[in-house]
């Protein structure tokens, strides 16, 4: 399943991953594309490409991407998330900080300092054909998808989230 949007999104995943690595900036895919790279297949069309990066690297990463034709896309407060767009592809970089023990926490906004689940950045690398990229742990992907309706009651569990959770569970159990 590849259409023009999917091809553009995959091209951007490669570009962001390479630019970040070349500048010693850590990034991790999250959301639907992280799942697809973990599973090694495109499971459905995606609206955007979701990432995590360290808040300390956000200005440098944003400048690098602007230099490659990415434009700011207004969204949440910049201390919480950076949103950009290129070729019709929306990207969001949720920003991470560290707590006193070095574990990742929400960098800014109303949930500033809230801990992410343990093991989120535990070294998973997803692959889809020639595309490789660091991704968040599948266990954490599941936990985040299950918890969104608890954290944000206005956002009920979506059908695609139920399907994603089932796919990820099947992949990690066997």
Does residue 168 form part of some domain? no
How much is the pLDDT for 54?
Answer: 98
Please, which residues bridge with residue 105 across strands? 97, 115
| pTM of the predicted structure, to 2 decimals | 0.92
Q: What residue has token string 């949103």?
A: 83
Does residue 102 form part of some domain? yes
User: What is the mean pLDDT, run by run of 10 residues, along the chain of 174 residues?
Assistant: 81 98 98 95 95 98 97 92 96 97 94 93 95 96 83 79 91 83
Q: Where are the alpha helices (DSSP H) in 40-130?
A: 55-66
How much is the pLDDT for 3?
Answer: 64
Does residue 150 form part of some domain? no
CATH number at residue 32: 3.30.460.40
Q: Which of 8, 22, 1, 38 is nearest to 133 (CA)?
A: 38
Does residue 89 form part of some domain? yes
Does residue 146 form part of some domain? no
How much is the pLDDT for 127?
Answer: 97
Domain hosting residue 77, numbered range: 4-136
Residues 6 or more apart whose Cβ sits within 8 Å of residue 20: 26, 27, 53, 61, 64
CA 18 → CA 13, 87, 95, 115, distances in Å? 9, 18, 19, 28
Does residue 113 form part of some domain? yes
Does residue 149 form part of some domain? no
Say how many domains are in the chain.
1
Does residue 170 form part of some domain? no
């Amino acid at each position: 399943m590849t259409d023009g949007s999917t091809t553009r999104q995959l091209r951007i995943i490669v570009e962001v991953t390479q630019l970040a690595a070349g500048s010693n900036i850590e990034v991790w895919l999250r959301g639907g594309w992280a799942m697809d790279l973990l599973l090694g297949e495109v499971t459905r069309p995606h609206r955007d490409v979701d990432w995590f990066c360290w808040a300390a690297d956000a200005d440098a990463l944003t400048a690098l991407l602007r230099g490659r034709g990415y434009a700011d896309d207004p969204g949440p407060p910049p201390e919480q998330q950076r949103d950009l767009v290129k070729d019709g592809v929306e990207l969001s970089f949720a920003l991470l900080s560290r707590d006193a023990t070095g574990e990742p926490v929400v960098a800014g906004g109303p949930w500033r300092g809230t801990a992410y689940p343990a093991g989120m950045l535990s070294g998973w690398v997803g692959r889809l054909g020639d595309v490789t990229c660091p991704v968040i742990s599948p266990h954490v992907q599941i936990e985040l998808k299950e918890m969104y309706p608890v954290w944000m009651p206005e956002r009920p569990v979506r059908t695609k989230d139920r399907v994603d959770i089932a796919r990820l569970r099947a992949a990690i159990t066997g």
